[in-house]
A and B are shown apart, each in its own frame.
Chain A
Amino acid sequence: MIDSVLAILSAVMLGLGGFFMVSGAIGLLRFPDFYSRMHAASMTDTLGSYLVVGGLMLTAGWGLPLFKLALILVFIFFTSPTAGHALAKSAQHCDLRLPGGGASTKKADNEISGSAQGPDSRDVVSADRV
């Protein structure tokens, strides 16, 4: 009884996780500018991986695999939102504003091209529009 409930619950969580992952991927492809794309990717990625790992944990049974999956969950809990934060912050650091958001390319013009530290803002914006 409890096994079949766990199996169904786990299947629902895996399915939902997969759905969020796919919707994040679609958002990454279809959204117009850097920030909304990044938002789509990092939000769905975090929730999707929680759901997938959580669904796997339900079927893992008591033992070392369950513990390892829990550790992975903790790791994702820290890294995935931080990665999104770092990405947005470095984009802001490189003076990448939303298209039409004002005050965008003034500093970028002074930037020496060839710096790989952060993507040149105009590059990214134009790459977004392609």
Chain B
Amino acid sequence: MNKFTISGSPHIKSDESTKKIMYGVALAMAPTMLVSIYFFGFQAIRVLVLACIASLFFEWVIQKYLIKGPVTIDDGSALVTAILLAFNLPSNLPSWMIIIGALIAIGMAKMSFGGLGRNIFNPALVARVFLLISFPVQMTSWPKPEGFSIGLSDATTGATPLGIVKEGLGAGKTMSQLKPEIPTYIQDLMGQMGGSMGEVSAIALILGGLYMLWKKIITWHIPVAMLGTVVIFTSILWGIDSEHFADPVFHLLTGGMLLGAIFMATDMVSSPMTHGGQIVFGVGIGILTVLIRVWGAYPEGVSFAILLMNAVVPLINKGFKPKRFGLKPAISKNS
């Protein structure tokens, strides 16, 4: 008689898989990768390749020799972290700093928490903030995106639009005086602004975001809540005094806002589990970002805001439950 397999239902499985999700995210990042290579040339390829090799290497070493468990570097999660890390770096960053960044992202932010799915903070952002604090000069000297260049030598460096505004306003200038110094919105959209590799082109980021929405890798809740909050908050400030506060479109298109909203804050592992929680998470990031950008010491606030909100995700998960069937108010006893 045949021996049949016995297992509990369900007996069929969708074709969803961790790999499919991770490589889907990687594919969604392709337009941004191409734009960064177009503007920053060979240097961008160097940063991307180095970040990927270093991240995969560190994950392999740690899984094989430190944890002595199964090696899962092919699941795509380290690759996604590596590309996100590269997006957060200026293209002229010294190679050894990129390797340190990869070690921090994979070793400290991911593996020391227990590996995939267990990290509290977004690994790429932890690495970015670590590098920003450790090497502030190198992390804030941005090559100007000129167009494809083969040269390995540093291109002309310049400040980011956010940096120009921050410094200008700090020095007592008004927005209308600063206007000629910052790129136009069209330039922001296409990618002609100074910044980290992944921040330069709003259109490429939005394309990636739409792809992930279509593939149901992300939902609209976090990006819309975050960007909506930023628009509302900065509109109020701008409405009060348009000479001393930048307008909402400027805030949306510059710096890490879109990269953060689309690829960083939506990271499955470090964001809340329910739509309600995701909205609170997004609103929190939006408020913190504007607070840091406008009144903080740094011109850019997205990374800090996301990391701060990452820390309260467990709390958000306790307080925001899904809409239960057959229970009118969806409030948890544990909140």
- The judgment on whether A and B are partners is no
- Chain B residues with a Cβ under 8 A of chain A: none
